[in-house]
Structure formats: C-alpha cells, structure tokens
Structure 1
C-alpha cells in the first residue's frame, strides 16, 4: 500500500513539473551535427560516479575531433575532481546534493557566459523538478537523455539503444553527431595528487580488492560471503594483501577484517574522493566487486575484474555490466537471486577458473 502511494505521489510530482517547465523541442534530429555545436552542457546533478566514468569517451572524442566545442558540467562535489582534474572541463559548477531552484538559476548564469546551450546531455532516467527547471532555463537546442516522457528530450538515447550497454548510448550520440568510429575506451580517472596520497599503501605489494557493498541493501554481500572471498584470495596467493573498498557508512566491516587478517589488510583512508578510488583500483592485481561504480573504474584501469550482479534484472546486467571492449572482466549472476542472497559457493568455481586465467 505504501509503495503504491509513493508511486502515485511520484506521478503527481512529475505531472506538475512537466506542466510547469517542459517545452517542445523544435530542432530536427536530422540536423544534429557537432559541426554546428559550440557549447555542450552535461548535467551530473545526481552525483553518480559510474555514469561519470562511462561518459568519459564522450568528452575525449569530441575534444579530439571538434576541439573548439566548449563544455560545461553541473555536478555534485563528490565527482567534481573528475571534471576539474581529469577532463579539464571549461566550466564546472558544483551544486548541493539537493539543489533548489535558485541554485540552478545561479549555475545557469555561470555557464551561459560560454554561450547558448546547443546540446544538453543528461543521464537522469526519471526527471525531477531540478531536471525540468534546468531544461526550462537553458532552453537547449537539443537534449540527449534517457527520459522518454519529457518533450524537451529530442534525442532519446534509451529508446535508440534498447538492449545495449550504457557506453553504446554515448557511442550512438557521437556517431549521430559526425564521429564515425569513436574510441569508447574509458579515460582512467587517476591523478598525480591521488598517487602521492596513496602510493605508499600499495608499493611492493600484490593486492586483491573486494568491493562488497553497493548503494542498495540488495547489493550487499553477507559477512560470511565476504570472509569466504578474502580467504579464497589469500589461499590462492600466499603473499597477497587484501584491500576492501567500502564507503564511510559501511566501514563497520573493517573491524571484523582487521581482527582476522591483521597486517594482510590494507585500509584506505576514510576520506577518499573519486580520483583516489580510481587510483586505488588501478593498483590492484584483481578486483571482485558487486554491481557498483567500481566495475567501470576497473575497466578504465584494465584491472582484472570479477563482477557480481543481481539475477532479477537481466537487462540491467547488459546495460551496466563491464564495458563490451573490456577483455579482463568476468560477470556472474544467479537467476532470480539478489546479490545479498549469494553464497560464495554459488560463484566459487567460476571465480577460481577466471582468476587462474588472469594470474
């Protein structure tokens, strides 16, 4: 009953925001070409790290083929270093986690100094008030996105690429704009600052990483499964070290692991930004990760990867799995089984076979 009520409220909010802010984009898709575009705005107000990694070829390929195009990015603070330090975006505006109308108005004023927005790119599949407000203020000539109910989205990447990996959405947009054979390899998000901060933890060591927790409670491995994975790594390589990749709110597991593995455990600082995490993953010999941004960071750094996914959503595995070009990745899921219900025995043999090949 509560779920139905929430869905009803979401529909009402969407209808209200669509009525207040949506508009019919008039530009024809047949006219879309990067030759005529001067200013691209990318909205990453959701703060999702995985999307920010996957979209990097969109920036690098346009910079290579159309270097005169200017980029603006609206994002939350946690992913800002990616756009400031790794991609060197012309204008980065940092917004609070829940931006209000005035926050978005001020952000638009800052980016409009670079000229009219010819193309807005958004990865938000379900527009909220903030997304509609941004659209209404920018009035972009083209909007490329995933939201199929908004009239302002005139390049529906989701509809154009059903059943494909998320990186193919941006490949499609690049080809549509005139780049015939784009290179879709991700840009590693490591920086000199992150190396100087963390290198001492990894130097001279063979390190196996485990990322046991995703954002949802259904993407969290049990304590027993985590211990079984760690034991497997140390039995496989007697000289190995373990590096758990956990968010600040999940660091409770570290005490259990410290007590069991002591000096064989590498504990990362609690305060890590996106480029720090990318650097840590780049220094791993092997990473086992649930469905989370770490999967995409591992692909970018060519780190051997074993990725666990939910067997409830096969389409999600195709869309958000390791990149199609990534040859050092293996994916596992158990039909009709959530990640939280996986036991080590479910994937032990596949993990063993894969890690032997990668060793």
Structure 2
C-alpha cells in the first residue's frame, strides 16, 4: 500500500508539471466593469468544507447585491448550496469530469468576475479548466500558478479556511464579513427528533466515525469512551453514526454500563437528522471535522479528537480546527502513522471531565 501511494503521488507530480507546461500561462483579463458573477469551485468539497464556506454567498450579496454567486459542486453537496446557503445558481458536476465536460462547463459559465478555487496543489484538469474560463480574476491558494492573479496561499498560510475565504472577500473589496456558518434547520426535523429525544435530560452528542480509517474509532474504543462519558457526566449520550453502521451502534449500546442513557436515532441517518441532533445537544465529542464545524456554527461546545500531522507541524489542524475560541482538543499519540484509536484513555477521561465542568456545565 505504501508503494502504491508513493507511485500515485509521483504520477500526480508529473501530471501537474505537464499541466503547468501546457495550460498555465499569463493572459490578458477583461476588466470587472459590469460586476458579473462570482463562481466558487467546490467540486472537491465535503460536508465540513461546505459548512465552513456556507456564509460566503450571504456576505457577497450583502455587500455587493448586484453580483450573482454560482457554485460548481457534486450532486451530494448541491442541495446544501441550493436550498440553504443562498447561492444564485448551483451547477452539478461529476467527481471526475472529462476534459470535454470541463470545456463545456467553462463555456456555460460565460464571463466571470471572480473564479475561485481554494485547493492547495491544483491538478492538471484544474489548471486546464482555469485556462478555459473567461475570468476577470482567478483566486486561489496555489501561489505557484501563473494563471492565478489573486494569490491567497502565502497571505493566508496557517489560518483557518474560514479566514481564507474572508481574505478572498477582502480582495473583492468586502471588509469585516460575518463569517458565522449557516446550519440548515427545518421544523419537520425538530418534530421528528421530538419523538425520541428526551425532553427533560441534557444530551451530549458523540461522533466516533471520521472520514477514513485513520479517523474512525473501533468498537472497543467507542465502548470504552462511552463508559467514561456515562460515568463522568450526568448527561445522556447520543451516539451519532453514518449509513450502514446502525448494527455496530446497537452492539455498542448493548455493551455499555448504562444503556438507558445512550440514545440512538431510530431514523435512517440523514443530514437533517445530524444537524438537528447536534442543534439540540449541550456539547459534542467528535473525531470528525464535519460535525465539529456544525457544532461550531451552532455555538455548541466541542471536545475535538484529532490525529497530529505526520512529520510534525500543525498545518492541517491550523486550517480545520474547531472555529470557536473555547473548544477543547485532544490529540492521539500515534507517531508513525495516524490512528485515532491511539488516544490515551486516561487523558481522554481527564479532558472530558474538565470539559464538562468548564464548558457543558460552566460555573455560574
């Protein structure tokens, strides 16, 4: 597996170099005289990324109401942008579009005032697409590319991704934007939750399922942590789980010391259910950055569980940490490879106990 990863990285390097040679060049750009549309390329965005940028269209419309904001994203994230984040138009695209599809998309966009692609090392197809769009400005954090004239990489190094978007808006002449996230809510979601959520008991949400094996807790770790939380806190615990893991969640419930205080949603997992469960919780313990960002947007106290960056440094954490000043963070102890299951349980017990006392049940 290590050899395959190394070969894939080498292939990507060669493709990127070829893409720069073929497509990355300076070109005359039209003036932004008619204040045309802003196009955000979010085709690589997942749930957490989408939440972090949820406020951008709102703030552009507030400061420059004559502009439209378009988003290019995948079908999975399109409903969020279309129904909740206030964008004017959502264009859905396949995860791996062909060059022909990218060329058609560029033609479909027409004149663009600001084309925005905040990914670190753009691939060959990304560079090709930037070359094809009739854009007054191209903004990005891949400062090495000639085609990007609004270079935000060095300018925003070490800052949270929400701050990177704020810097983009500053380049557009928009100062002091409100960067609070938009977390969707619907009355019917609250009605469904009320059917099983305790009305007289505070609840802490716990998400042990991160994206990828390195950030997913194994059942033995989940049970051990649940027992600690049940013993050290008076609250009930809602165990969050993704599609396909209901049986594992039920097995964990059957194995804890006090299953009566462990809540499992009887509904199939959904984004609406996830947003609502966190909204009604008094705190969140999570290995997953997406749910951390949701909690941050709702001002729900967070105990975030993270792997340290391999090779030292803290670049990934600096960019995706809980974007709230009073969040508590605990890192796993693995040094050779990332594995959230290497969390020190005594350290977790201490962090959880302190966090509950200071954030979930703050002294009056």
TM-score above 0.5, yes or no: yes
Equivalent residue number for residue 23 of structure 1? 25
CA gap of 1:58–1:25, structure 2 versus 1, over 3 A, is farther
8 Å contact kept, 2:306–2:330: yes
- Per the TM alignment, residue 138 of structure 1 is displaced from its structure 2 partner at its CA by 1.6
Q: How does 1:19-168 map to 2 (within 5 A)?
A: 19-24=21-26, 26=28, 37-112=35-110, 116-168=111-163
1:355 is matched with 356
1:50-77 C-alpha deviation (Å, 9 max, x unpaired): 1111112322221111111101111112
Which SS does the other structure have where 1:56 is aligned?
Answer: coil
Does residue 1:213 correspond to 2:214, yes or no?
A: no
SS in 2 for 1:257: helix
Residue pairs, 1:315-326, within 5 angstroms:
315-323=315-323, 326=324
Does residue 299 of structure 1 match 2:299?
Answer: no
Where 2:253 maps in the other structure, the secondary structure is helix
Change (3 A) 1:194 1:14: farther
**TM-score in terms of structure 1 length:** 0.86
Query: Does 2:183 correspond to 1:182?
Result: no
Seen in structure 2, the aligned counterparts of structure 1 residues 202 and 327 have a Cα distance that, compared at 3 Å, is farther
- Judged with a 3 Å threshold, the aligned counterparts in structure 2 of structure 1 residues 98 and 276 are, in CA distance, closer, same or farther, namely farther
TM-aligned CA distance change 1:37 to 1:254, over 3 Å: same
Distance 1:24 1:291, change over 3 A: farther
Q: 1:191 to 1:17 in 2, by over 3 A?
A: farther
Report 1:225-264 matches (<5 A). 225-238=221-234, 240-248=235-243, 250-251=245-246, 253-260=248-255, 262-263=259-260, 264=262
The structure where helix makes up a greater share of residues is 1
Choose 77-86 or 330-339, whichever is displaced more.
Answer: 330-339
User: TM-score, length-normalised on structure 2?
Assistant: 0.85
The equivalent of 1:170 in structure 2 is: 165
CA–CA distance in structure 2, aligned partners of residues 59 and 310 of structure 1: 32
Residues 1:200 and 1:101: Cα distance change in structure 2 (over 3 Å): farther
Return the alpha-carbon distance in structure 1 between the equivalents of residues 140 and 224 of structure 2: 41
**What do you get for the CA RMSD once the two structures are aligned?**
2.7
Tell whether the 8 Å contact from 1:241 to 1:266 is kept in structure 2 after alignment: no
Report the count of equivalent residues.
348
Q: Distance in 2 between matches of 1:322 and 1:349?
A: 20
How far apart, in 1, do the equivalents of 2:334 and 2:154 lie? 26
Q: Distance in 1 between matches of 2:27 and 2:347?
A: 49
Q: CA deviation at 1:305?
A: 0.7
2:77 counterpart SS class:
helix
Q: CA deviation at 1:289?
A: 0.8
Change (3 A) 1:101 1:246: farther
**1:20 and 1:130 mapped to 2: Cα distance?**
11
Distance 1:26 1:202, change over 3 A: farther
Mapped partners of 1:166, 1:84: distance in 2: 21
Is 1:40–1:117's contact at 8 Å kept on the other side of the alignment?
yes
